[in-house]
Amino acid sequence: MDISKDILLEIYDRMVTTRFFSERINEFFIKGIMHGTTHLSVGEEASGVASCMALDKGDYTTSTHRGHSHAIGRGMEVIKIMAELFGKVTGCSKGKGGSMHLADFDKGHLGSNGVVGGGFAIATGAALTQKMKDTGKIVLCFFGDGASNEGSFHESLNMASVWKLPVIFFCENNLYGVSTPVSKSMNIKDVAVRAKSYGIPSYIIDGNDAVEVYKTTREAAKYCRSGQGPVIIEAKTYRYLGHSKSDECEYRCAEEVNRWKKKDPIIIFKNYLIENNIANQIEIKRIEDKALKEIDLAVEFAKNSPNPPLNALTEDVYA
């Protein structure tokens, strides 16, 4: 499978945008200038972004509490995401959702979710629509390793498999659910093993390799589109920062973090682009500069945007 230069560079662009975005948000929380909480994807940019980039226009995504990479991966406007985290009326959810509630229905992004496991059944239902209306579109459902221990995971996979619904259940396995390692929350090493009990195919991939993530997702999407039912992809990855704001990470050792930092998804992908003569240092630098500038502008935009008016308080409860 050849991937066009345009797509590869767009993946790189959205990955570094996610990285810079997350680092900036982390700063804001450390300085205490941001209200609420956040879950950052630093270290997980390849799995979150390259998978979204493998979708076609009109396909859908459901995301998790750790959803900035998915929002950016789906091409949501960074200014609107930033403004949302600042709680401003110009945000994608008019300032009412915050970090865990980013959505863009026009782009097929059905939203991140504050409830772990909240996306499984939503994705299943969205896939049911595609099947009933014969749209040829599919749904990509992100979830964490920890989320696969929710009952909704098992109920949704069973339903999607027996009805042969076009949904990719995409696990970003970062080895922990908050402080709890996979080894203490399930009796298996790989979440993908669970596919067996639903009679569906699964892949286990290096989630820090953007090319592998992209190719596998394309292949799985093709399978789903052909009407054969759901697929699990398990992407092994790692988060560098704490679970959310104020996490001392006492449950894991610095050595483990450093080991993963040596497999940084952005550096791996950058090297791939250069070694394969897809982009040179200057082009790479240009993408990075552009991404940084975009974040700066987004921060400016968000800071200068107004709060929602007080009468917005009771708006939008009902349609």
Partner 1 sequence: MKEMTYSEAIRLAMTEEMRKDENIFIIGEDIGIYGGTFGVTKGMIDEFGEERIKDAPISEAAIVGAAAGAAVTGMRPIVELPFLDFITIGMDALVNQAAKMRYMFGGNEKVPMVVRLPGGSGTGAAAQHSQNLEAWFCHVPGLKVVAPSTPNDAKGLLKSSIRDDNPVVFIESKLLYNTTGMVEEDPEFTIPLGKADIKLEGSDISLITYGRMLKKALIVAKELAKENIYIEVIDLRTLAPLDKDTIIQSVKKTGRAIIVHEAVKTGGFGGEIVATIAESDAFDFLKAPIIRIAGVDIPIPHNKELEKAAVPSEKDIKAGIYRLLNK
List Cα–Cα distances, 25 to 41, 165, 176, 294, in angstroms: 11, 37, 22, 14
The whole-angstrom separation of Cα 12 and Cα 277 is 14
Residue 279 touches which of ligand TPP, Mg ion, partner 1, none (Cβ within 5-8 Å per kind) = none
Verify binding: residue 177, partner 1, rule CB under 8 A.
yes
Specify whether the CB–CB gap between 172 and 217 falls below 8 A. no
Instruction: Quote the DSSP letter at residue 62.
Output: E
Specify whether the CB–CB gap between 61 and 127 falls below 8 A. no
Verify binding: residue 251, partner 1, rule CB under 8 A.
yes
User: Which residue's CB comes closest to ligand TPP?
Assistant: 144
Residue 66 touches which of Mg ion, ligand TPP, partner 1, none (Cβ within 5-8 Å per kind) = ligand TPP
Nearest distance from C-beta of residue 11 to partner 1, angstroms? 30
Specify whether the CB–CB gap between 109 and 120 falls below 8 A. no
Of residues 194 and 270, the one with the C-beta less far from partner 1:
194
Nearest distance from C-beta of residue 166 to partner 1, angstroms? 26
Total of residues contacting partner 1 (CB under 8 A): 43
Verify binding: residue 88, partner 1, rule CB under 8 A.
yes
Q: What residues from 150 to 209 belong to the interface with Mg ion (CB under 5 A)?
A: 174, 177
Structure tokens at 68: 């900035």
Among 16, 122, 127, 186, binds partner 1 (CB under 8 A): 186
Return the exposure string of 200-232: e unless at least 16 CB atoms fall within 10 Å of the residue's CB, then b: bbbbbbbbbbbbbbbbbbbbbbebbbeeebbbb
Contacting residues toward ligand TPP, per CB under 6 A? 39, 65-66, 114-117, 144-147, 174, 176-178, 243
Of residues 213 and 298, the one with the C-beta less far from Mg ion:
213
Nearest distance from C-beta of residue 205 to Mg ion, angstroms? 16
Query: Where would I find the H helices in the chain?
Result: 5-31, 45-53, 68-73, 78-85, 119-132, 151-162, 182-185, 210-225, 254-261, 265-275, 281-304
Name which of 77, 82, 80, 67 is nearest 33 in CA terms. Answer: 82
Nearest distance from C-beta of residue 182 to Mg ion, angstroms? 8
Nearest distance from C-beta of residue 26 to Mg ion, angstroms? 18
Residue type, 211: V
Among 43, 67, 73, 97, binds partner 1 (CB under 8 A): 97
- Which residues are paired to 62 by β-bridges? 141
Nearest distance from C-beta of residue 15 to partner 1, angstroms? 26
Name the one range near partner 1 by CB under 8 A: 10-18, 45-53, 257-265, 309-317. 309-317
Nearest distance from C-beta of residue 67 to ligand TPP, angstroms? 9
Verify binding: residue 111, partner 1, rule CB under 8 A.
no
| 173 burial level (CB within 10 Å; 0-12, 13-18, 19+) | buried
The whole-angstrom separation of Cα 122 and Cα 298 is 30
Among 30, 115, 267, 297, binds partner 1 (CB under 8 A): 115
- Give Cα 185 to chain centroid, integer Å: 22
| Chain residues that interact with partner 1, rule: CB under 8 A | 35-37, 84, 87-88, 93, 95-101, 113-118, 146-147, 149-152, 177-180, 184-186, 247, 250-251, 307-308, 310, 312-314, 317
| Chain residues that interact with Mg ion, rule: CB under 5 A | 144-146, 174, 177
